[in-house]
Amino acid sequence: MKNYFQQVYEIVAQIPKGKIATYGQIAAMLGTPKNARIVGYAMNAAPAEMKLPCHRVLNKKGALSPAYAFGDKAIQHALLEVEGITFDNENCVNVKKHLWDCVLTSPAQI
């Protein structure tokens, strides 16, 4: 059986360019909707060699990750912007516009 972090990484790897996912959305896809914080821990621990699109995972308000996550918030902003993601006046992503519309029928698919 895959551990939780591995399951998170498999979902994150599927987020397409130009879309974002939230921590809570990923947790819900795994059948654990209250584990958004654990998804955040998984993102923080993601091995660089996996080359996951971690920059596409945001909180439910569309706020960028803390500066320590990418070395600087401007890095995450630039990575998203080059993919066509738009931001509001508070530097948050328009979640309704860019949210990845992926519904899994079963956590067993992960």
Is 61 a domain residue?
yes
pLDDT of residue 97: 96
Whole-model pTM?
0.88
Instruction: Clarify whether 54 is annotated catalytic.
Output: yes
Strand partners, 57: 21
Catalytic residue among 43, 54, 69, 93: 54
**Residue 52 sits in a domain of what CATH number?**
1.10.10.10
Q: Is residue 43 part of a domain?
A: yes
Query: Contact at 8 Å (CB) between 55 and 98?
Result: no
Residue 109 banded pLDDT, cuts 50, 70, 90: low
CA distance 38 to 42: 6
- For the chain, the domain total comes to 1
pLDDT 10s digits, 73-91: 899 999 999 999 999 999 9
Instruction: Taking residues 45-57, report their average pLDDT.
Output: 95
- Domain housing 30: 4-102
Average the pLDDT over 12-36 and give the result. 96
Does 58 reside within a domain?
yes
| Residue 17 domain-assigned (yes or no) | yes
Q: Which residues of 77-110 are buried (b: 16+ CB within 10 A; e: fewer)?
A: beebeebebeeeeeeebebeebbbeeeeeeeeeb
Answer whether residue 108 is part of any domain: no
